[in-house]
């Protein structure tokens, strides 16, 4: 039986693009499939990004018969086998929001995905090159890769395109960062409308309610989604939070008390590292903010 990858899920149908020698043949002609009832009995649900075995029916449609092993799985948005999370944040219009960036990074770390931070709209912040460089250096020192781009001038767009080749990525970030403009820049002939793929946090004008893989060429696919619609930490335990701040990990192993929360305990190496300038104060303040937010939610629930 043929193998394929689910590139869209909508209204109970799964649109499967055939695989040829392990690669997607075409996302332009997917087979419209229903899932076998056995998945519901098992408590399984096919996801966009799943590699599947399917069979063709007489009416030209198909049936998803088997779901392959998943390398990764996101809950919001519901998509499987994503390898790279691209976090887009603008330098200006809107101004760069490091608290929100750190919140996204916590979720991506928890999901175990590779991360690429993309700072957009460089052309609007030529007078803030020094501040942009400081932010870039801050996150690079933590261990993240950072690109500074402009869809208007094309700065960084070719490098971003190369980063997306050969894997499935998901885009997320601030509202109004220019995701559609950047994708239109790196994919010739693509004409995405901003209002259709707005990267909003929480309620917004985003009308897309389904997940879809978008072919960007070079074997790369971007999960075009409503975004991470709610970053409420419901899937994350408060005891897991510090491990999602990757620069805390080596210091936390040397804390005096096992299970140190890095908020008030004596002999906390993380707090000491902050005081010594080895951990950025902004990151630590955001950690405490998220920690208290999670504790408050736990009390309410």
Q: Is the peptide bond before 94 cis (omega within 30 degrees of 0)?
A: yes
Task: Judge residue 3's burial from the number of C-beta atoms within 10 Å of its C-beta, 0-12 exposed, 13-18 middle, 19 or more buried.
Answer: middle
Cβ neighbours of 172 (radius 10 Å): 24
Is residue 264 part of an annotated ligand binding site?
no
Is residue 122 part of an annotated ligand binding site?
yes
213 - beta bridge partners?
A: 223
Is residue 121 part of an annotated ligand binding site?
yes
Is residue 180 part of an annotated ligand binding site?
yes
223 - beta bridge partners?
A: 170, 213
> Which helix (DSSP H) or strand (DSSP E) does residue 213 occupy?
strand 212-217
Is residue 176 part of an annotated ligand binding site?
yes
Is residue 150 part of an annotated ligand binding site?
no
Cα separation, 199 vs 174, whole angstroms? 6
Is residue 260 part of an annotated ligand binding site?
yes
Handedness of CA 202, 230, 111, 64 (dihedral sign): negative
Is residue 154 part of an annotated ligand binding site?
no
Cα separation, 178 vs 172, whole angstroms? 11
Is residue 169 part of an annotated ligand binding site?
no
Is residue 123 part of an annotated ligand binding site?
yes
**Dmax of the chain from CA atoms?**
70
Is residue 298 part of an annotated ligand binding site?
no
Give how far Cα 189 sits from Cα of 159, 174, 192, 217, Å.
Answer: 19, 25, 10, 11
Is residue 244 part of an annotated ligand binding site?
no
Is residue 285 part of an annotated ligand binding site?
no
Is residue 262 part of an annotated ligand binding site?
yes
Is residue 33 part of an annotated ligand binding site?
no
Residues 6+ apart with CB under 8 A from 244: 105, 106, 107, 109, 110, 236
Tokens matching residue 10? 């909508």
Closest CA to 109 of 279, 229, 249: 249
Instruction: State the binding site.
Output: 120-123, 173-181, 255, 260, 262, 268
Instruction: State the binding site for Zn(2+).
Output: 255, 260, 262, 268
Instruction: State the binding site for GTP.
Output: 120-123, 173-181
């Amino acid at each position: 039986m043929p193998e394929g990858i689910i590139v869209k899920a909508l209204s109970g149908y799964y649109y499967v693009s055939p695989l040829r020698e392990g690669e997607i043949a075409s996302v332009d002609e997917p087979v419209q499939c229903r899932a076998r009832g056995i998945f519901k009995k098992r408590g399984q649900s096919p996801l966009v990004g799943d590699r599947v075995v399917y069979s063709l029916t007489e009416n030209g449609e198909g049936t998803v018969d088997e779901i392959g092993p998943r390398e990764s799985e996101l809950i919001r948005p519901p998509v499987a086998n994503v390898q790279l999370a691209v976090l887009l944040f603008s330098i200006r219009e809107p101004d760069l929001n490091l608290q929100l960036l750190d919140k996204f990074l916590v979720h991506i770390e928890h999901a175990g995905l590779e991360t690429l931070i993309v700072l957009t709209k460089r052309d609007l912040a030529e007078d803030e090159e020094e501040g942009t460089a400081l932010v870039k250096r801050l996150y690079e020192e933590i261990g993240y890769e950072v690109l500074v781009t402009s869809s208007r001038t094309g700065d960084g767009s070719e490098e971003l395109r190369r980063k997306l080749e050969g894997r499935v990525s998901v885009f997320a970030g601030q509202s109004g960062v220019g995701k559609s403009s950047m994708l239109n820049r790196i994919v010739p002939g693509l004409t995405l409308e901003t209002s259709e793929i707005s990267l909003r946090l929480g309620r917004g004008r985003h009308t897309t309610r389904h997940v879809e893989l978008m072919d960007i060429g070079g074997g790369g696919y971007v999960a075009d989604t409503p975004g991470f619609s709610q970053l409420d930490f419901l899937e994350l335990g408060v005891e897991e939070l510090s491990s999602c701040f990757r620069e805390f990990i080596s210091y936390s192993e040397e804390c005096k008390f096992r299970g140190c929360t890095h908020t008030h305990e004596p002999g906390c190496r993380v707090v000491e590292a902050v005081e010594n300038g080895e951990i950025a104060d902004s990151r630590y303040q955001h950690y405490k903010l998220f920690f208290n937010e999670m504790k408050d939610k736990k009390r309410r629930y």
